[in-house]
Structure 1
Amino acid sequence: MNKTSSDESEARDRLLAAARKRGTSLAALSRLIGRNAAYLQQFVARGSPRHLDEPDLRRIAEFLGIDAGQIATRKTHPSTDGGERSSENYLAIPRLALDASAGPGRIGAQEIPFDTYRFSRRWLRENGLEGSQLSAVRVEGDSMEPLLRSGDEIFVDHTKRAGEGVFVVRIGEALHVKQVQASAPGMLKLVSANEGYAPVELPRGEVEIIGRVVWKGGRI
């Protein structure tokens, strides 16, 4: 194997390692850049295509929170953004095509990112979110008003699945955003911020905790 082929193979290996570290799949990354699910698997395993288009390369690198040069199989053009705006200083938080219902249960789509938010690592550190595994989903319904309003985007920390607080939970195939409280032994109480909705108690085994809500944003 010549040096060029070896460098290309190492770049593909770094892509695979970065995806695993981020907790995502090559199929999800392929969909993130608008390709079929097998696109990056073929790129990594077969070297086809030999090189990724630069826009795709930059978007993948931004999502993974790494420099594009680490996974490039050919020389990339240097960034004109300057060091302060390099991808290493920012984390791409995936927006998932899911709605967390604050009301009747919302059936979730596949957890595949369709877009990203780009937040500075410094901001995340200042807000105690450094090292969190975050994704963004949209709130639907009024049961969590005034805390969360329909249309708000919330950040969900998938590393926090215990304790009390506001969580995104899955019951059956439906997603909900609720205050979660301990109840009787083996039971959880799901509480709405809107007093017009009665609390619901369910066995722990029927409630899958997706993650704690740690940030919200929305239009004024």
Structure 2
Amino acid sequence: MTGGGPGRVLLPPGLRAGLGAVSVLAAVTVVVLGCLYAGDSGPGPADARILAVVDGVRPPWRHVADAIDLLGEPVGAVLLLAAVMTGLLLSHRPRAAVLVAAGPGLAVVTTRLLKPLVGRTIHGGNLAYPSGHTSFLTALALVSALIVVGRPGAGRTAGTLIVLGAGLAAGAAMGWAEVALGSHYPTDALGGCGTALAVVPAAAWLTDRTADSLRKKSR
């Protein structure tokens, strides 16, 4: 089903292969980086080069970084999710509203499970890898883009590029903010973005399957 209404598919068949491949590649990247930086408490060589440019930004860019960071804080994240979900429910898109909760939620839960397993720390013991803030905003951008490209007429290539572009842009923005504020190393941000890319396609597919199954049982 690709038409309008509450049953509109969230992960169109044309996007499944491409986003599935990206999901696998992202998962491998997250695992490899986790293994490389397991137990570390300092930046790697790539981190150090980026930190030399980005770390410790001053106003007005510091204010921009603070504003972006707020979107990943508990209060900011809940308000952002609530606003998006309310808009979708008022538009009679319950399936999409479920994904807005499930996609970012699964991404954040995954980062929280990975952090103690990897054990990378920053600033005297704070678990750092992967970045939950980056994972959250990347996931929200991905699910929002999926909802948009699920409309009739979106082509396979264009749809895939839109979804990935939105996710990477959001991940880059939050990653920059976290590094600029000294909250994470660049590779933590990369791991957070990768975590979202790995889990959101699966969340969309599972949401579609569950919704379709419930609709069939209700008939």
TM-score category, normalised to shorter length: under 0.3
Structure with higher Rg: it is 1
TM-score by length of 1: 0.26
Greater helix share, structure number = 2
TM-score by length of 2: 0.26
Greater strand share, structure number = 1
Which protein has greater RCO, CA pairs closer than 8 Å, 6+ apart? Answer: 2
